[in-house]
Amino acid sequence: MGGTGVPACAPCHRFKGVCINAVKAASRAQGRSLWVFAWRRFVHSKKGVACLVVIVLLYGAGIFAPLLAPFGYDEQDIGNTLQAPSWEHPLGTDRVGRDMFSRILFGIRTTVIVTVAAMASGGLLLGITLGLISGYFGRFADSLVMRVGEIFLAFPDILLVILIAATLKPRVAEWVLRFEQLSGIAGILRSGLVDYLVVFGALATVSWVGVARVVRGQVLSLKQSQYILAARALGASHFRIIFRHIFPNVLPPVIVMVSVGMGAIAGAEVMLSWLGLGVQPPVPSLGVMIFDNGNIGVLRSDPYLLVFPVLVVAAIIFSFNLLGDALNDSLNPRLR
C-alpha cells in the first residue's frame, strides 16, 4: 500500500518505463476479447455460417463415405448402365453401371485427404514454422527462407505442381513396385497411396510460401511490441516468446489464408486428376469423373454424369472462398 492509499503492482516490474504486469494482463484480456468478438461477428454472418455448414456436410460425407455410400465405388451393375437418377441410384449410374452417388462420395473423400494433408504439411507446418523463424531471428535465416520462397514464386503455381507431379509419380510408383516385389506385400499401388503422396506432396511444396510471407510480416511487427520486450526482460526463452506470445497473434490472418488456400488446393487436385497426374482409377476422383464425361455428347445424352461432379467441385471451392471473406471480416480488428 503506497502513501496515497492506491495499491501498487505486487511486484511491480518495469522495463523501459513500462509496467510488465499491466502489459501482460492487458494482452491476455485483449486476446480473449478479440476471439470472442470475432466469433460473435462470424455467427452473425449468414454467408459465413452457410458456407461453413456446406463445407462440414461435404467433408463429413467424404470422411464417412464408406458408411454413407449405398454401393462400393467399383461395384458394377451391367444391367443398369447409364441409368438416369432414380430412387435406387439418386445420381444415376455411369457407363459400367457404377452408382454415381457412391463414386462422388468417395471422390469427395479423395479431395478431403489431399487438401487436408497438403495444407497441414505445407501451408501450416512448413509455412508457419518457416515464417516464425524468418521473422523472429532475421539475418541469415530470414534471407535463406525468403530467397527459397522467391525461387518457388518465380514459377506459376499450377505449372510447378504439374512439373513436380509428372516428375515424381513414375519414380515413386517404381519404388513402391519394387517394395511390393521384395516384401511380398501386394495392393499398395492399387490402393492409390502413391497418387495421394505425389499429389499432396506436390501441392504442399508450393503452398507454404504465401503463408510463410504473411507470418513473417506479422512477426516483424509483433516482435517490437511492448509485451514482447517485457517477456525478454523477464528472461523468457526464444521458444516461449515465439509460441506463447507471438504465435497466437499471427493466427487470424493465417486462418483466413488457410480457408482460401483450401479452395485453391481442392481446385488444383481436381485439375491434376483431370490431366492424368493426380489420383487415378480405380480410386474415384472428381477430376477424373469430369475428364471422362467432359464432352458435348455426354452433356446432351447423360448430363448428370458431368453436372453432379462439377456442382460438388464448385460448391467446395465457392464455399471456401466465401468462408475466407467472412473470416476476414470477423477477424479484422480494424472493423471492430
Report yes or no on 34 lying in a domain.
no
Please give the full DSSP string across 268-322, using - where no structure is assigned: HHHHHHHTTSSS-TTS--HHHHHHHT-SHHHHHH-THHHHHHHHHHHHHHHHHHH
CATH classification at residue 183: 1.10.3720.10
pLDDT computed for residue 18 by the predictor: 46
pLDDT in tens, 230-251: 888 888 888 888 888 888 888 8
pLDDT computed for residue 16 by the predictor: 45
Q: What residues in the chain have per-residue pLDDT under 50?
A: 1-10, 13-18, 20, 23, 26, 29
pLDDT computed for residue 19 by the predictor: 53
Report yes or no on 178 lying in a domain.
yes
Report yes or no on 22 lying in a domain.
no
pLDDT computed for residue 57 by the predictor: 95
pLDDT computed for residue 239 by the predictor: 86
The domain containing residue 268 runs over which residues?
41-79+86-335
Give the predicted TM-score (pTM) of the model: 0.79
Report yes or no on 56 lying in a domain.
yes
pLDDT computed for residue 28 by the predictor: 54
pLDDT in tens, 204-228: 888 888 888 889 988 888 888 888 8
Domain tally, the chain: 1
CA neighbours closer than 13 Å in the CB half-sphere of residue 153: 12
Report yes or no on 26 lying in a domain.
no
Report yes or no on 30 lying in a domain.
no
Cβ neighbours of residue 13 under 8 Å, at least 6 residues apart?
19, 20, 21, 230, 233, 234
pLDDT computed for residue 15 by the predictor: 43
pLDDT computed for residue 270 by the predictor: 82
Report yes or no on 20 lying in a domain.
no
Do you find a cis peptide bond into 282, omega within 30 degrees of 0? yes
pLDDT computed for residue 53 by the predictor: 94
pLDDT computed for residue 102 by the predictor: 93
Secondary structure letter of residue 99 according to DSSP: B
Report yes or no on 19 lying in a domain.
no
In sequence order, the β-bridge partners of residue 15 are 18
